[in-house]
Amino acid sequence: MFRLLALMIMALSLGTAHAGANVVSEEVTYTDNGFEMRGYLAYDAAVDGPRPGVLVIHEWWGHNEHARAQARRLAALGYTALAVDMYGEGRLADHPDDARAFATLVRSNMQLMTKRFDAARKFLEAHERTDAGQTAAIGYCFGGSVVLEMARAGEDLAAVASFHGALATQNPAQEGQVNARVLVLHGNEDPMVPAEQVENFKQEMEAAGVDYHFVGYDGATHSFTNPQADEKARQFGMPVGYHAEADQASWEELERFLAETFGG
């Protein structure tokens, strides 16, 4: 009964988008040891006082409109959201080879990944609209793998959520090390994240005692939340595709997850 009441109260303030939402968004810059990072901040100006902050980590294409759109959606729910730049200088890839190179540079260097994530987090938590004690991170594809790695590393986050992200790791979670609640939203037809990888991830989380929730969507493949995925599939012959039902269902799952995390 208490949990239901808490969720109902949270829905009024952070749940479905406010009727009076006044989303403000702006391009911002922050630095990682002097290296310029170009982010995108969004919040609801109609909400008084600091709110929980959410970092949004982009797909392997880079800091694009997809990440920015998710930041605005989070702002409409009452959060302060920062679409992060993990590549630096707002780099974007037009071809999978470039995207793979950008993503590999970060994924293969845990120190670099952590520094860039922490630079974004520091910027978000210092903002007047953010409650620095309440921070979550969500990520898409490449970004999903990043937020999971940050959780495994013991970052002081309330929650992380991965949308169609890779689940394999060279740094498996250790018991007592993961502070964040973990949500994984996965396309069951995703050839880039096969069933064996899913099963290994679940075993990893359970062995480490992580508070995690895994949801798989039948019929959904890689990049199922991005409306531009079908175009990329045609252009480059990639096994990706948009799935409207999984996109909507996964977003609703995220809404519930964040409300439970910050409203209980």
- The predicted structure's pLDDT at residue 16: 44
- Give the homologous superfamily in CATH for domain 2-263: Alpha/Beta hydrolase fold, catalytic domain (3.40.50.1820)
pLDDT per residue as tens digits for the range 118-148: 999 999 999 999 999 899 999 999 999 999 9
pLDDT per residue as tens digits for the range 70-126: 999 999 999 999 999 999 999 999 999 999 999 999 999 999 999 999 999 999 999
Confidence bin at 33 (pLDDT 50/70/90): confident
Residue among 17, 132, 139 at smallest CA distance from 73? 17
Kindly state the average pLDDT of the residues 189-201.
Answer: 97
- For residue 143, count other CB atoms closer than 10 A to its CB: 29
Tokens read off for 113? 């990944």
pLDDT at 8 over 90: no
pLDDT at 6 over 80: no
Q: 11-20, 149-158, 217-226: lowest mean pLDDT where? A: 11-20
pLDDT at 19 over 60: no
- As a whole-number percent, the residues of the chain with pLDDT over 70 amount to 92
pLDDT at 255 over 90: yes
Stronger pLDDT, 9 or 124, i.e. the higher one = 124
Judge contact between 51 and 13, C-beta under 8 A. Answer: no
Give 114's Cβ-side CA count (13 Å radius): 11
Note the pTM of the prediction, 2 decimals: 0.92
pLDDT per residue as tens digits for the range 37-54: 999 999 999 988 899 999
Domain boundaries, the chain: 2-263
- For residue 160, count other CB atoms closer than 10 A to its CB: 30
- The predicted structure's pLDDT at residue 244: 98
- As a whole-number percent, the residues of the chain with pLDDT over 90 amount to 89
